[in-house]
Chain A
Amino acid sequence: MAAPAIDGWFVTDDGAVYLLGTRCADCRTVYFPPQTGFCRNPHCAGEDLAPARLSRRGTVWSYTNACYPPPAPFVAAEPYTPVTLAAVELSEEGIVVLGQVKDLAVEDLRVGMELELTSGALADGPEVWMWGRP
């Protein structure tokens, strides 16, 4: 598989893709992208943030697409096909995570439907996490 477009935000293990966040050892708040050094809960003095794999499935909070090629530093495929984006709610972590959607267009999506984490390649090669059909 191609190199990840960003280090430490997701991992592929035995074919399954996981978002990599962190969890505060004191208050159990979860962070994505991974937060290090200190907890951002104002009621928590925690400084022990351990790596945590996030749930692979969630429900669509909302979705859209980019009908025009987004500007740099995005690298658009040629010919350009609209990038689909979904914000997916992970109930256990109580967090909504944005990602590109793989092999689904806006017509295929609806708020509340279940998606599962996968990955796919950016137009210039590196891999990024993506939401896909379970």
Chain B
Amino acid sequence: MDVVIAGTGMHPWGKWGRPFTEYGVAAARAALRDAGLDWTEVQYVVGADTIRNGYPGFVAGATFAQALGWTGARIASCYAACASGAQAIDIARTRILAGLCDVALVVGADSTPKGFFRPVGGDRPDDPDWLRFRLLGATNPAYFALYARRRMALYGDTPQDFAAVKVKNALAGSLNENARYRRTATAEEVLASPMVADPLRLMDICATSDGGAAVVLASADYARRRGLSTAVRLAAVSTVTPAFPNTVLELPCFATDSTAAVPPPERTFRASIAHAAYEEAGIGPQDLSFAEVYDLSTALELDWAEDVGLAPPGEAGKLLRAGDTALGGRIPVNPSGGLASFGEAIPAQAIAQVCELARQLRGTAGARQVVNARAGLAANQGLFGHGSAIIAVS
């Protein structure tokens, strides 16, 4: 049995200052319209949780179902940090594959405060996320910067390379009506923006945004029976965790696992996320038409390009400089404009990536359209060991 993406919807990203439920409902209604399905026909709702909005944030499935109007539909809620959306999609498609429902709605939305993400309030000395701020002042960009500096030392990448990623993604984002940042950027602007965490500058680092995204998933049989679009098939959802010992310093950790007793695994965690998706889909990186990867920083997009197999380790910069990863290039990376143009709305972001996969694969991405797009991969990683990679094909 196949699961298809029958519809997608988004509330534009921004800093709107309204309750997250509004963004989620707007995205859900847009996805239902796109699918040509009435809300009352949805059998199952999965909400990706936000943790910044108090009580209703933690019960997102019910929050969205109530806001859309109680119908008695069954629900689930899940939290997997940045990977929440992928897990929500996995829960919905698994229920469809199990034959327990025919059609499901997956929704994620967030409202974010200004500035650095900070830990949940109060004195919580048992929480590593609280402690890394208290003892080290280690913000999320600090970890991104450690990875960026490591690339520079190992592979010879430069701040100019990182700026080129921003320029590329800003151009794609300028063509996306749902992006928060619609202005193109020059390398000079990026390199003149304030240093935040050396070597990363303000324009190298993704913002925190408000936004909402939703997808309608259905069994291919149901979609055909009901005349819904069957053009885009969900070919794989990878939600793998790291293998011990995890030798990459992950936020919010103080240290890596130790290799004193067990040698490092064959693949790093990020590489294993995409690998599992390729295995499930039965395709490889050479079969992709484009990829959406989690560019929390410009430099991290280069790490991801290697981790998902578009280039050997250390050679993503070469791919970038050749224009291969730009719109119109051999293998566009982040044709949506990526986090560079959106900023991060955590529970919505992995779903937004899938919205871009579906639009590209249906050929409705407008000025961002990747020519003859047949297969797309979306990859991200959530805090605390949450992998997320989704492959869709047309």
A residues with CB within 8 A of B:
5-6, 23-24, 27-33, 40-44, 61-74, 76, 83, 85, 87, 92-100, 106, 110-112, 122, 128
> Are the C-beta atoms of B255 and A33 separated by less than 8 Å?
yes
> Are the C-beta atoms of B138 and A93 separated by less than 8 Å?
no
- What are 24 inter-chain pairs, A to B, with CB distance below 8 A? A24-B261, A29-B245, A29-B262, A40-B244, A61-B150, A62-B146, A62-B147, A64-B145, A64-B197, A66-B139, A68-B116, A70-B139, A71-B116, A71-B118, A74-B133, A74-B136, A93-B260, A95-B255, A95-B258, A98-B136, A110-B153, A111-B149, A111-B150, A111-B154
> Are the C-beta atoms of A27 and B262 separated by less than 8 Å?
yes
Is B134 on the interface with A (CB-CB < 8 A)?
Answer: yes
> Are the C-beta atoms of B125 and A6 separated by less than 8 Å?
yes
User: In the assembled complex, how far is the CB of residue A83 from the closest CB belonging to chain B, in whole angstroms?
Assistant: 5
Is B98 on the interface with A (CB-CB < 8 A)?
Answer: no
Question: In the bound complex, what is the Cα–Cα distance between A98 and B249 (angstroms)?
Answer: 8
> Are the C-beta atoms of B137 and A5 separated by less than 8 Å?
no
Shortest Cβ distance from A71 into B: residue: B118
Which residues 255-282 in B have Cβ within 8 Å of A in the complex? 255-262
Question: In the bound complex, what is the Cα–Cα distance between A94 and B261 (angstroms)?
Answer: 9
Q: How large is the interface on B (under 10, 10 to 19, 20 to 34, 35 or more residues)?
A: 35 or more
> Are the C-beta atoms of B198 and A28 separated by less than 8 Å?
no
Question: In the bound complex, what is the Cα–Cα distance between A29 and B130 (angstroms)?
Answer: 26
Residues of B within 8 A of A32 (CB): 254-255
Picked from B115, B146, B258, the residue with its CB within 8 Å of the CB of A64 is B146
Picked from A5, A70, A83, the residue with its CB within 8 Å of the CB of B116 is A70
Excluding A74-B136, A87-B146, A122-B135, 17 further A-B contacts by CB distance (< 8 Å) are A5-B134, A29-B260, A41-B245, A62-B249, A64-B142, A66-B137, A68-B116, A71-B116, A73-B133, A85-B142, A93-B258, A94-B259, A94-B260, A95-B258, A97-B254, A98-B249, A111-B149
Shortest Cβ distance from A84 into B: residue: B198
> Are the C-beta atoms of A62 and B244 separated by less than 8 Å?
no
> Are the C-beta atoms of B136 and A99 separated by less than 8 Å?
yes
User: In the assembled complex, how far is the CB of residue A43 from the closest CB belonging to chain B, in whole angstroms?
Assistant: 7
Shortest Cβ distance from A42 into B: residue: B244
Question: In the bound complex, what is the Cα–Cα distance between A30 and B116 (angstroms)?
Answer: 32
